[in-house]
Amino acid sequence: MGLQVFIDGSFFPEEEAKISVFDHGLLYGDGIFEGIRIYNRRLFMLEEHLDRLYSGAKVLKLEIPLEREELSERIRETARLNDLSEGYVRLVITRGKGDLGLSPLNCSNPSVIIIVSTIQIYPERVYTEGLHLVTTSTRRNNPDSLSPQIKSLNYLNHILAHFEVVQAGVDEGLVLNDSGYVAECIVDNFFSVKDGVIITPPTNAGALYGITRLVVFRLAEQLGIEIREENLSLVECYTSDECFLSGTAAEIAPVTHIDSRQVGDGRPGPVTKKLMEAFGDFKRVNGVPID
């Protein structure tokens, strides 16, 4: 049996899972989403993901048609139906069907879509050899125009930056804000390590309030590693002792080259490896059981 997709109260085989061409999520990117990992039949950091989802919906004045507890159960139900011990949940809330006009007032019924599948954005080699990054010319949207804390369906800025990564033939991109400081990677948060201290861009510099980023802060505290939010210039990144990134799909991955410059000794650093190991232990025992 293929994947079963939840759409507005019903389950559909993936080949039959459809939304209206008049859905404003399709026409205007008017909606929000979350990506949630399944580890050991547990929904990892589910409550934190739902916190971010409902916060984003409030900012967009988007009424999620399910109460939080019911939505949580629908996610668990979809995960059970697809029977994946290890997987990835894409939770999407769209403004729903409207007309060809821009106004969201013409969309009376927001849609809830839950997809459970698998995901791997980097090959396994990068976790032992490290990622090669290039700085993109595409800048992150100014937070005053579109807050990065709203995980919206409009990812065109990220897609344009990704084209530059593909053209450069590297693994990932480093994206700057309009002041020239590092905001984040294309779909991941970025961290630098200097003299044993972890530094990551603040969210008001254009970085997403990442859920895995939050886990990194917790693990660093447990490991007794100092971690700070500070603006990061490219020069500071080039001269770091080590770098890494974090994200729901990527987890924690080392960065060994930026713009053809070797970071540290060109291998995953000791702080990064400690965090990767701690994350591996943490993810197996934390989360909401799907059963």
117 CB contacts (<8 Å, ≥6 apart)?
Answer: 3, 82, 84, 87, 88, 90
How many residues make up the chain in this entry? Answer: 291
**7, β-bridge pairs:** 10, 113
Pairing mode of beta strands 197-200, 227-229:
parallel
Active site residues: 151
**DSSP symbol at 16:** G
Beta strands in 42-154 (DSSP E): 42-43, 87-94, 111-117, 131-135
Residue 159 in contact with residue 37, Cβ under 8 Å?
no
163 CB contacts (<8 Å, ≥6 apart)?
Answer: none
How far apart, in Å, are the Cα atoms of 214 and each of 49, 117, 123, 272? 11, 24, 24, 15
**DSSP symbol at 85:** S
Give the separation between CA 144 and CA 216, rounded to whole angstroms: 27
